[in-house]
C-alpha cells in the first residue's frame, strides 16, 4: 500500500483554494487520498482507502462490479461529496473548488451522457461551451478531436445513429475538449466488441504518450494490463493490493498456470491426486488451475500420476489470477 511510502511533504498547505495555477502539492501527486470513505446511508461503498496518482501516470482501479470503483471516480470527479478522509485533486479540495477542478479534468462516465438530439459535432461544441470556450475555439477543437477519434465523417450525424463504439469514442473526444490535465475513465470499453476496444485503447495510449494522466476503472484484466502503469485491486470497498501489473503477478501468482479441464463428473471425484503438483491449486466449477513456474513440467507430472484431463492448457499468469488469489473470486461472474 502507498501508506508505507511517505509522500514528499508538500511545500504549500495541503489545500490552497485561492491560489491559481498548479499548487506545489499537485506536482507530487495529482490525486491524493487518505482514508477516503464513501457511505450511502448504512452502506459503505468505499472504506478508508489510500492512494496517490502521479502526474503523467496511468493508474487503474481493477475490481468486480460493486467494489467501489465508480464511487471513488465520482468523488475524484467532484460529483460525489466524500463521507470521510482526505481527498485532494490537482492540489485542490473537491469540497471547495469543484468548479476549478472540473475545469481541468476530463470525464468519461460509465454511462454515456451524450445528447441524442444534437449532432456529433454539436455535442462537442456545446461541451466546450460548458468550459467557457469561445464558440470559435470550441469549433476548432471539435474538428481536431473528431479527427483524433476518427469520427470526422460522422460530424453531422445525430448521436442516435452511432454504434456503441463510436459513441464511446465521441464521449472520449468530448472529455478532451478542455485539454484536461487528468482524464477519468470509468469502464471505458465495457460492452464494446474487441475491434472497438482496440481502437479505444490505441487512442488512450496516444493520450498517455502526450502526457495526459489517465485514471481508469475496469473489470477487464487485459485492459488493465494494456493501459495501466500502476493499479490497485479493489474488492468490497477496500484496496487489497497495489503495484504494476507485472509486480502484482510476480507477487501474487506464479509465472505460469496450468489449466486442466476434466470430463463432467470427474472433477468432483478428484481427491488428493492433485496435491503437490503445483505451488497452489484453485478449483473452479469447470476446471482446475495449477499455479507453477513451469507449467509443462506440472502437466507432465499430472500425466505421470495417471490424470487424464479433457484439455490441458499452459498459459502465463494474468491479473485475473492475481484477483482470484486475493479475493477467491473471479473478476467477471
CA angle 109-112-115, nearest 5°? 130
Q: By the criterion CB under 8 A, which residues form the site for another protein? A: 20-22, 27, 40, 55-56, 74, 77, 79-81, 98-100, 102-104, 107, 109, 111-118, 122, 126-127, 129-132, 176, 178-181, 207, 210-213
Instruction: Assign 3-class secondary structure to 304-332.
Output: HCCCCCCEEEEEECCHHHHHHHHHCCCCC
Report how far residue 303's alpha carbon sits from residue 158's, in angstroms, rounded to the nearest whole number.
60
**Cβ of residue 288: shortest distance to another protein, in angstroms?**
43
Q: How far is the CB of 57 from another protein (least distance, A)?
A: 9
Q: Are 254 and 280 in contact (CB under 8 A)?
A: yes
CB of 79 to another protein, least distance (A): 6
**In whole angstroms, what is the distance from residue 64 CA to residue 45 CA?**
13
| Cβ closest to another protein, residue 191 vs residue 276 | 191
Decide if 37 contacts 227 (C-beta within 8 A). no
Nearest to another protein of 210, 272 (CB atom): 210
* Closest distance to another protein from the beta carbon of 137 (Å): 13
Give the phi and the psi of residue 153 in degrees, each rounded to 5. -75, -10
Distance (Å, whole) CA 188 – CA 175: 12
Closest to another protein by CB, 217 vs 254, is: 217
The rounded distance, in Å, linking the Cα atoms of 36 and 23 is 21
Residue 80 or 253: the one with the smaller Cβ distance to another protein is: 80
- Min dist CB 50 to another protein, Å, is 23
> CB–CB of 192/22 below 8 Å?
no
Give the residue carrying C-alpha cell 487503474: 60
Nearest distance, CB of residue 80 and another protein, angstroms:
6
Beta bridge partners of 282: 289
> Between 35 and 103, whose beta carbon lies closer to another protein?
103
- For another protein, the closer of residues 167 and 219 by Cβ is 167
Nearer of residues 118 and 314 to another protein, judged by Cβ = 118
Name the residue nearer to another protein (CB basis): 81 or 276.
81
- For the bound state, the minimum distance from the C-beta of residue 199 to another protein, rounded and expressed in Å, comes to 17
Sheet containing 31-40: give its strands across.
Answer: 43-53, 31-40, 84-89
Cα–Cα distance measured from residue 139 to residue 133, given in angstroms and rounded to the nearest whole number: 9
Name the 3-class secondary structure at 77: coil
277 DSSP assignment: S
Which residues have C-beta within 8 Å of that of residue 95, sequence separation ≥ 6? 81, 82
For the CB of residue 117, give the shortest distance to another protein in the complex, in Å.
5
Amino acid at each position: 500500500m502507498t501508506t508505507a511510502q511517505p509522500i514528499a511533504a508538500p511545500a504549500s498547505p495541503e489545500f490552497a483554494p485561492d491560489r491559481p495555477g498548479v499548487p506545489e502539492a499537485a506536482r507530487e501527486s495529482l490525486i491524493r487520498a487518505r482514508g477516503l470513505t464513501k457511505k450511502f446511508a448504512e452502506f459503505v461503498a468505499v472504506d478508508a482507502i489510500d492512494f496517490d496518482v502521479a502526474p503523467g501516470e496511468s493508474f487503474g482501479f481493477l475490481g468486480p462490479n460493486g467494489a467501489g470503483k465508480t464511487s471513488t471516480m465520482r468523488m475524484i470527479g467532484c460529483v460525489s461529496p466524500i463521507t470521510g478522509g482526505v481527498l485532494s485533486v490537482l492540489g485542490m479540495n473537491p469540497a471547495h473548488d469543484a468548479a476549478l477542478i472540473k475545469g481541468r479534468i476530463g470525464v468519461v462516465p460509465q454511462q454515456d451522457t451524450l445528447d441524442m438530439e444534437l449532432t456529433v459535432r454539436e455535442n462537442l461544441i456545446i461541451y466546450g461551451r460548458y468550459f467557457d470556450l469561445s464558440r470559435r475555439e470550441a469549433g476548432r477543437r471539435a474538428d481536431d478531436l473528431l479527427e483524433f477519434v476518427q469520427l470526422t465523417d460522422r460530424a453531422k450525424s445525430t448521436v442516435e445513429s452511432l454504434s456503441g463504439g463510436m459513441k464511446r469514442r465521441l464521449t472520449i473526444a468530448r472529455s478532451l475538449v478542455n485539454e484536461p490535465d487528468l482524464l477519468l475513465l470509468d469502464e471505458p470499453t465495457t460492452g464494446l466488441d474487441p475491434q472497438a476496444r482496440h481502437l479505444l485503447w490505441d487512442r488512450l495510449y496516444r493520450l498517455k504518450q502526450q502526457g495526459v494522466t489517465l485514471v481508469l476503472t475496469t473489470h477487464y484484466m487485459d485492459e488493465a494490463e494494456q493501459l495501466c502503469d500502476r493499479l490497485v485491486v479493489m474488492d468490497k470497498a477496500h484496496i487489497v493490493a497495489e503495484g504494476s501489473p507485472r509486480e502484482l503477478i510476480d507477487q501474487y501468482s506464479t509465472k505460469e498456470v496450468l489449466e486442466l479441464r476434466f470430463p463432467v463428473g470427474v472433477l468432483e471425484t478428484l481427491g488428493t491426486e492433485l496435491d503437490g503438483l503445483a505451488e497452489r491449486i484453485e478449483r473452479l466449477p469447470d476446471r482446475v488451475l495449477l499455479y507453477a513456474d513451469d507449467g509443462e513440467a506440472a502437466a507432465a507430472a499430472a500425466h505421470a500420476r495417471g490424470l487424464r484431463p479433457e484439455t490441458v492448457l499452459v498459459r502465463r499468469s494474468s491479473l485475473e489470477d492475481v484477483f482470484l488469489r486475493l479475493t477467491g473470486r473471479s473478476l467477471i461472474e
